[in-house]
Structure 1
Amino acid sequence: MLQLFKSSYEALRELPLSVPEKGAWLNLINPKIEELNAAAVITGAPLDFLRAALDEEERSRTEIEENCLLVITNIPVMRGVDSYDTLPLSIILTPDYIVTVCLENNRVLSDFCPTNAKYFSTFKRTRFLFQLLYKSATYYLTYLKQINKRTDEIERQLRKSMQNRELFQLMELQKGYTFFSASLRSNGIVLEKLLRLRLNNQLQHLIKVYEEDEDLLEDVIIENKQAIEMVEMYNHILNGMMDTFASVISNNLNMVMKFLASMTIILSIPTMVASFFGMNVPLPFGLEQSFGFGYILVLSVTGASVAAFALWRKDMF
C-alpha cells in the first residue's frame, strides 16, 4: 500500500500519486515492487533504502547516500495479550519528501493521522522524523508498563495455583523484554549517531535543524534511555520471580513426595502383618481362630499408628 499525504493549514490531506507535491509524506505499508518503484521515481530515493525495512531482522542503523538520509528504527508492536515484538521502520529524508516504509500497520504511524494533523507537518521533515522516533519511544514505555501490570496479574494467579499456563505466559512476556532490550539498545546507537551528525553539521545540506528540533531529539534520547532502564529493571524482576516460583514448585513437589513416601511406609505395616499371619502361622498366646482377625487388625493398627507418630515427629507430613 502506497499513500501520499501533505499537511495544509493544520490538516492532513491525501494526494493522488499522479500529482505529487513537494513537502509530502509517502507512507508505504508492505509495498509491492511496483509501489517501491513509483516511490523511487517520485522521491529520487535509492531502491535499496526503500527495501531496507522489508526485512524483519533488519537492525537499526543510519545511512547517507547522495541527497538521502536513511534512518531505520525498531518500533514496538503488540501481537496478543502476552506477546510483544519489534518491527523495523525505515524513515527516508530527501530534499523534498519524507518516506516511511514498514511491513505492517502499526500504532506509531497510525497516530500521524488527520485527527492529529495539527501536531505535525509533513513539510517540516526533520521535526517529523524526530516526532516519529519520539512516538516510538513513548510506545516502548507504554508497552513496558502493560507488561509489568500483566506480570503482576500472573503473579497473583500463581500464588493461588501453580499451573503451567501461567509459567508459559511469563516466558512469553520475557521474550518481549528480550526483543525490547535489543531494539532499544540499537535505537540508542542510531539516536546518538544522529546527534553527532547534527553537531558536526554533516546533515546541513539535507535537512535543517532548529533549536526546538534539537530539544525534541534530546527528549527522544532521554525517553529511549528511560525505556532501556525500565526493561533491565522489569526483566531482572521477572527473572527473579520465575526463579522463585520454580523453587516453590520444586519445594511443593518435594512435600508431596514426602507425604506419599510416609503414607507408603504406614500402609506397608498392615500389609506386612496380614501377609505374615496369612501363611498358616499359628497365632500366639493360644488365641482361638475366631479371635484371629481381630488380633491381626489390632496389631496392624497399632503398628501403623506408631509409624505415623514417628514420621510426624520427623516432620514428614
Structure 2
Amino acid sequence: MINEIVLNKSVKLIDVHSTEDLDDDDRTTLIEKYALTNEILDYADDENERARFEYDEITNTYLIVYNAQNENNQTTDISQRVLPISFAIKNDQLFLFTNDATHYIKDYILAAKIHLKESSQNETWEYIFNTFDQISSDYSDQLSETDVKRNKIQKSIRKHHSSESQILDLADLEDLTTYMGTAINGNFTVIKQLELISSGNVQPLHLTKVGREHMHDSLIEIEQIKNQADLSSDIIDRISNTYNNILNNRTNTTMKVLTIYTIVLSIPTIVSGFYGMNMKLPVADKQWSWVFSLIITILIILVILWDLHRRDSL
C-alpha cells in the first residue's frame, strides 16, 4: 500500500507499507509513477538486507537501509527482533519502506516536524536524521531492559537459586544482544559513511550546516548506543562464563562427595566379606568377633578420612 503524505510545502513522504513482501502492483507504481529502479526496490524489499547506503547516479536516488526494532518485542524468534527498513530520497520525495512490524517508523517521521526548527523543515535529510535518533533511543531502552533482566539473573546466581530456566533466559539475552549489537554496528557504519561522503566530493550529497551538525549528533548518539551494546554483551558473556564455572564447580563437588561416600561405604563390605568367607580367620570363633570386625572397620574408615583430610581432599 502506497500513501502520499505532505510533510511541508517542499517535502513529501511516500509511505510504502507492505504486509510482508512488496506486491507487484506497488512495485509497478513505484517504477512507473516515481521512476524508482528495480535494483533499489530489491534492496528495499529484502528482509535480510544489511544496513547500507547506496546512490544511483542514473536516477539521482539515495537509498538507505537501516536496522530498526520489531514493534512486537515479544516475538519468540529472536532473529526477528531487529528488522531492516529502507529510506529512498529522490528530489524532494522521501520514500519509506516498512512492513507491519516496522510501520511505526512512519510516526517518527511525522513527529519530526514538531521537533525540527522551521528553517530546517524543508530539509529532507533532517527528517531522516531525526528518525535515526528515535531508533537509537529505542535501542537504548531495549538495552536498559536487557540490563534489568541480566541483573535479576545475576542476583539469583549469587543467592544460589539458579535453575534451568535461568540458563535459557541467559542464552536468550546473549542471542538478543548479539543481534542488537550487529544491527547497531550496521547503523553506525551507515551514518559514518554518510558523514564521510558529505565531507567530500565523491558523491553529490550536500548538507546544510544544520544538517551536518544534526548528522554529527546522530553519529555520536549511535556510537554511545554501540558502546552500551558492546558493554552489555561483554557483561552477559562474563556472567555466562561465571555461571558455567559455578555449575562445573558444583558438579565437581558432587562427584567428590559421592567418591568419598563410595570409598567409606565399601570398607564395611570388604571387612564383612572377609569374615563371611569359609576359612579360618583370627578371633572368628569368638562371641565378640562381630565387635572386633566393627572396630577394624571404624579404624580403617578413620585412617582413610584422616588421609583425605591430610591431602585437602575433604
TM-score range normalised by the length of the shorter chain: 0.7 to 0.9
Secondary structure of 1:112's aligned partner: helix
Amino acid at match of 1:304: I
Give the 3 Å change call, closer, same or farther, for CA 79–165 of structure 1 in structure 2.
same
Amino acid at match of 1:25: I
Amino acid at match of 2:93: Y
The CA distance in 1 between the partners of 2:29 and 2:216, in whole Å, is 35
The CA distance in 1 between the partners of 2:170 and 2:295, in whole Å, is 53
TM-score (norm 2): 0.82
| Superposed counterparts of 1:92-241, under 5 Å | 92-106=88-102, 109=105, 111-112=107-108, 118-119=114-115, 124-159=123-158, 160-200=160-200, 202-203=203-204, 209-241=207-239
1:273, distance to aligned residue in structure 2 (A): 0.4
Which of residues 87, 101, 106 is equivalent to 2:83? 87
Give the 3 Å change call, closer, same or farther, for CA 119–25 of structure 1 in structure 2.
farther
Secondary structure of 2:62's aligned partner: strand
The corresponding residue for 1:249 is: 247
Matched, 1:301 2:294: no
Secondary structure of 1:284's aligned partner: coil
User: Could you give the per-residue CA deviations for residues 185-219 of structure 1, whole angstroms, max 9, x where no partner exists?
Assistant: 33222212222333347446xxx744433222111
The corresponding residue for 1:68 is: 61
| Greater alpha carbon shift after TM alignment, 263-272 vs 84-93 | 84-93
Gaps of 5+ in 2: none
| Greater alpha carbon shift after TM alignment, 265-274 vs 42-51 | 42-51
The corresponding residue for 2:31 is: 40
User: Could you give the per-residue CA deviations for residues 55-107 of structure 1, whole angstroms, max 9, x where no partner exists?
Assistant: 23211212222232111112233354894642111101122421111344237
Amino acid at match of 1:178: T
User: Could you give the per-residue CA deviations for residues 236-272 of structure 1, whole angstroms, max 9, x where no partner exists?
Assistant: 2222222222222222221111111111110111010
Amino acid at match of 1:100: L
Give the 3 Å change call, closer, same or farther, for CA 218–25 of structure 1 in structure 2.
same
Two-structure CA RMSD over aligned residues (Å): 3.1
The corresponding residue for 2:307 is: 310
The CA distance in 2 between the partners of 1:113 and 1:196, in whole Å, is 24
Contact 2:5 2:12 in 1 (8 A): no
The CA distance in 1 between the partners of 2:4 and 2:227, in whole Å, is 37
Secondary structure of 2:108's aligned partner: coil
The CA distance in 1 between the partners of 2:284 and 2:101, in whole Å, is 93
Give the 3 Å change call, closer, same or farther, for CA 82–252 of structure 1 in structure 2.
farther
| Greater alpha carbon shift after TM alignment, 303-312 vs 125-134 | 303-312
Gaps of 5+ in 1: 10-20
The CA distance in 1 between the partners of 2:240 and 2:30, in whole Å, is 48
The CA distance in 1 between the partners of 2:108 and 2:55, in whole Å, is 25
Contact 1:126 1:213 in 2 (8 A): yes
Contact 2:7 2:110 in 1 (8 A): no
